A = this chain, B = another copy of it.
Amino acid sequence: MQLIDGKKISLQLQEEIAIEVKKIMASGIKQPHLAAILVGNDGGSETYVASKIKACENVGFKSTLIRFPDNVSEEDLLKAVNDLNNNDDIDGFIVQLPLPRHINEHKIIEAIKPSKDVDGFHPINVGRMVLNLPCYVSATPYGIVHLLEKYKIETTGKHCVVIGRSHIVGSPMSILLAKNTELGNCTVTLCHSKTKDLISHTLKADIIICALGIPEFLKGNMVKDGVVVIDVGTTRVVSTETKSGFKLKGDVMFNEVAPKCSFITPVPGGVGPMTIASLLKNTLLAAKKEIYK
């Protein structure tokens, strides 16, 4: 069994990006610039955005944080999006989700200029992904594909079972892995809460992407020997083992499943660290105008 070290790969990717930033700036292209819009003071969102800003510094990007109170109007938020769309110094930007209930999230996301939508959440980027056209792939799926590639995990002809059909992970993963591309070509089965006899699917899988958000859901008796397991779950559960009183749990019962695996991602330190690197990579692509000319 080999552990997939997402932390290491993420740092490698960030180093590569830092080198590329120096190179393009030396060639006269301006410093890549990522902006983030943060609404309210949700603890999780604060942490995520702070680590994105920090990562920008690490790789030599410029970054801008734009904050709004919880009660910001949809109109004001749309105006901020529009300002960023029209600001030539901004290469890409994100609106940290979730947004307060009185704001139509889809309306905000569709207002983002597709060429600056480095989160890859705009329908046009999702559609381009499906159609195999140049696009920003969203962070988690992008990170997972990158991990499979780095560990030279063969996908062509393999049977991949994706558990969970979220718009953020499960659904795009099922699409990416089934595509006629070198990093795709899997036979993909997408399972979810309405799936009957789930174990009959997981037992046949060569690769399992576990992204349903239920801690330790995938048990040892549900997988076959030699399987590759990608654990996307990160649920904070109360724990007496840590100082903070909390622990991050994946969707996989690691102790049972890992011994049967050829490869497995740990939680933490697997898929999680890849998401920020993926966002930086998309921002670099935006700065280089590689997706939208």
Residues of A within 8 A of B (CB): 106, 122-133, 156-157, 159, 165, 167, 171-172, 174-175, 178-180, 185-192, 194-196, 200-201, 204
Prevailing SS type, chain A contact patch: mixed
**Measured between C-beta atoms, what is the minimum distance from A50 to chain B in Å?**
28
Chain B, Cβ-Cβ closest to A134: B106
Find chain B residues with CB under 8 A from A186 CB. 194
Question: Which residue of B has the minimal Cβ distance to A109?
Answer: B131
Write 17 A-B pairs (CB below 8 A) sorted by A numbering: A106-B133, A122-B127, A123-B124, A125-B127, A157-B194, A165-B180, A174-B174, A174-B190, A175-B175, A178-B190, A180-B192, A185-B192, A185-B194, A187-B196, A188-B189, A188-B190, A200-B204
Q: A188 to chain B: which residues have CB within 8 Å?
A: 189-190
Q: For A157, list chain B residues within 8 Å (CB).
A: 194-196
Complex CA–CA separation, A49 to B194 (angstroms):
40
Query: Which residues in B have their C-beta under 8 angstroms from that of A125?
Result: 123, 127
Residue of A126, A175, A185 with most partner-chain B CB within 10 A = A126
Q: Which partner residue on chain B sits nearest A121 by CB separation?
A: B131
A239 to chain B, nearest CB (A): 32
Bound CA–CA A186/B179 (angstroms): 20
**A283-B126 Cα distance, complex, nearest whole Å:** 24
CB-CB under 8 A from A189, the residues of chain B are: 187-190
Return the chain B residue nearest A125 by Cβ.
Answer: B127
A123 partner residues in chain B, CB cutoff 8 A: 123-128, 130-131, 133
Taking CB atoms, residues of chain B closer than 8 Å to A185 are: 192, 194
Q: A191's closest neighbor in chain B, by CB?
A: B187
Q: Is A130 in contact with B178, judged by CB distance below 8 angstroms?
A: no
CB distance from A253 to the nearest CB of B (A): 22
> CB-nearest residue of chain B relative to A133?
B106
